[in-house]
Amino acid sequence: MLHPENSASAAPVLTLTQDNFEQEVLQSAIPVLVDFWAPWCGPCRIIAPIINAIAIDFKGRVKVAKLNIDHYEQWATRYGIHAIPTMLLFREGQVIDQLVGVHAKNALTDRLNAVLERGDRSPVKLS
């Protein structure tokens, strides 16, 4: 399922739900960047185009998804999300990195490239 703000030519950003979170994130064969967001969140709207660009740049190497915390609060609670936007990076069902707030595209790209280069589930040092 594509995120509603995407057009047919836009990035393949998945919309997560209660029904697909486990399959799309926890059981994914590739790393997954999950953007925890809400429609009323100004910083979430600011970072949305960056998330879409990341999805394009890393297509096939990293799955990019969004989870609306207003609809699926239980996932935000489970992962200790206290501020949004928060991006969690999962590999083999485990959180291996976290970014909170708005970040430049190159900061996200650097973090994702570091994880891909490591090839393991070890956490990336958070800056």
Q: Are strands 14-15 and 63-68 parallel, antiparallel or unpaired?
A: parallel
67 catalytically annotated: no
Cα–Cα nearest to 34, from 110, 104, 82, 91: 91
44 catalytically annotated: yes
Q: What does the block give as tokens for 123?
A: 């956490």
Active-site entry in 44, 47, 76, 88: 44
Alpha-carbon torsion (40, 31, 89, 79), positive or negative: positive
Active-site entry in 11, 32, 41, 54: 41
Residues with a known catalytic role = 41, 44
